Amino acid sequence: MTGFEKDGLRRRSLLAGAVGLGAAATLPMSAAHAAPGPAAAASMRRYPPNWPDLQPYGTADARLDLWPRDDNSFILPLELRPRDKDRGVVWMRDFYVNCFQDQGAPVYVATGTTRAPGLDIAAPWNDGIFLWVAHSLKGPWQLIDTTRIRPGAEKGKVWSPEFVGENTTGRTIVAPWQEYWYDDTFGKRGEVWAPEVHRFNGKWYIVACMGDHSQKVGSFMLVSEGGLEGPYRLIEGNVDEPFGDSFIGGPAFIKPGAYYHIDGSFFSEDDDAWLVLHNDLYAKFRPDMEDIVTTTNLPVFPQAPYSPEPYREGVYVFKHGGKYYLSQAVWNRQWSGSDGTTQYAYNKLGAGTSQYQYDSVLAVADRFEGPYSVRWTAGVGLGHNNFFVDRSGELWSTFFRNPNQGYWADPSRVAQGAVPGIVRMEWTGPSGNRVYVKRRNLGRTVSG
């Protein structure tokens, strides 16, 4: 996940510092004065400030300036499928957007977790991975044309457990553990979560996860044998199982030994690429990209933990301004303090608290392997997002407004949840080294 790839393509992470993102500007200059040199120009840049860290460590920043608002965000007008037309917007979780250069022109790609016709959520099964493409963030956003590959399948669907019949000797599209299955409790089971698209050394990859109702729950990677539209096949290392070790976890209905680390992600730098998994695990890919080098007992990113440490999802790394950022989705919990004020924290668990917002939390390091710094709130309600740079060099994040619990699960708001949204972000420069939602009132210090 580097900002500008070796072959000129952008993906989930970014190298925005090279173009001076944030509120970069120069002081007015008289026509009689020569243009400043690089050092002088750098000193005249203006970056937004870091907010002081909230105390005690683990306090969640709920200020309204860190929310997606009408002035800094919008919902992408993705082409509707028949199942989306009654709602008028695509139902989406774990929303992902990136900008690539394709044959000299920018192309945006969007994907995420969607639901099948007739279901209210993306479980106990869904029908695969869809891709949308556009040449502008404002659209038009169209489902990618897959009709030449599968004339009889739904347009835009690049992978699904229903493609199991395409398996041939030595070429696996759907592994046995990814196939649909059935039981008396849920009926049809098996869903795919959190897909993301990457371009590395001239090939297209999709990293995704089989969800809680699948035969095995965990992350896998697909590689295209053609263009962005596919056809995609499963890499060799995932034919028998997901990435990493299995362990006891997830809901009670998951059978022992079937749960692996979820929310797989991808980071690359030069000719090297790494897998990143939830709760801070990582592993380097083999040069042939058919598996990871170390398949068990994966190393962990060291960082300043909360106490107690909450459950985190959507963990990944991106590079920005020469630094490495560890991103994670954490539930912001709220409760009423002894003075009657509402309190917010990521590490406050137990009785008297309730889930409030699914936030994006960041930490920063000088090296990919860490150690990573104290964490801060990058955006309220942005959890399970990705950061990307648009065709003009502006920094954005995705969001979807988690309707499962908390703020967006309220009956008065649930219709506004599970949407394909993006919000402008800002970088606080090479001294601050923080990324926040584009703020309005930089001097505010009270919670909204």
CA-closest candidate to residue 327, choices 235, 399, 431 = 399
Does 4 map to a domain? Answer: no
Judge whether residue 70 has pLDDT over 50: yes
**Strand-pair partners of 134:** 108
Are the CB atoms for 363 and 325 separated by under 8 Å?
A: yes
Share of the chain above pLDDT 90, in %: 81
CA atoms within 13 A on the CB side of 208: 33
Residue type, 203: K
For residue 240, the domain's CATH number is 2.115.10.20
Q: pLDDT digit string (tens) for 161-192?
A: 999 999 999 999 999 999 999 999 999 999 99
Q: Does the predicted model carry a pTM greater than 0.95?
A: no
Instruction: Give the model's confidence band at 242: pLDDT under 50 very low, under 70 low, under 90 confident, else very high.
Output: very high
Does 344 map to a domain? Answer: yes
Q: pLDDT digit string (tens) for 185-195?
A: 999 999 999 99
Does 37 map to a domain? Answer: no
How far apart are alpha carbons 437 and 48 in whole angstroms?
A: 11
How far apart are alpha carbons 165 and 174 in whole angstroms?
A: 8
pLDDT at 279: 85
Instruction: Give the model's confidence band at 101: pLDDT under 50 very low, under 70 low, under 90 confident, else very high.
Output: confident
**DSSP assigned state of 64:** G
Does 446 map to a domain? Answer: no
How far apart are alpha carbons 12 and 15 in whole angstroms?
A: 10
Instruction: Give the model's confidence band at 45: pLDDT under 50 very low, under 70 low, under 90 confident, else very high.
Output: low
Judge whether residue 13 has pLDDT over 50: no
Look at residue 312 and give its three-state secondary structure. Answer: coil
Domain holding 140, by residue range, is 16-25+46-437
The CA-based dihedral angle spanning residues 47, 51, 53, 59, taken in that order and rounded to the nearest 10 degrees: -130
**Number of folded domains that form the chain:** 1
Instruction: Give the model's confidence band at 282: pLDDT under 50 very low, under 70 low, under 90 confident, else very high.
Output: very high
Does 388 map to a domain? Answer: yes
Does 8 map to a domain? Answer: no
Does 32 map to a domain? Answer: no
Share of the chain above pLDDT 70, in %: 88
Are the CB atoms for 282 and 276 separated by under 8 Å?
A: yes
Question: In degrees rounded to 5, what are phi and psi of residue 351?
Answer: -60, 145
CA-closest candidate to residue 220, choices 230, 229, 232, 208 = 208
CA atoms within 13 A on the CB side of 167: 17
Are the CB atoms for 45 and 26 separated by under 8 Å?
A: yes
Q: Summarize the confidence of residues 52-77 as an average pLDDT.
A: 96
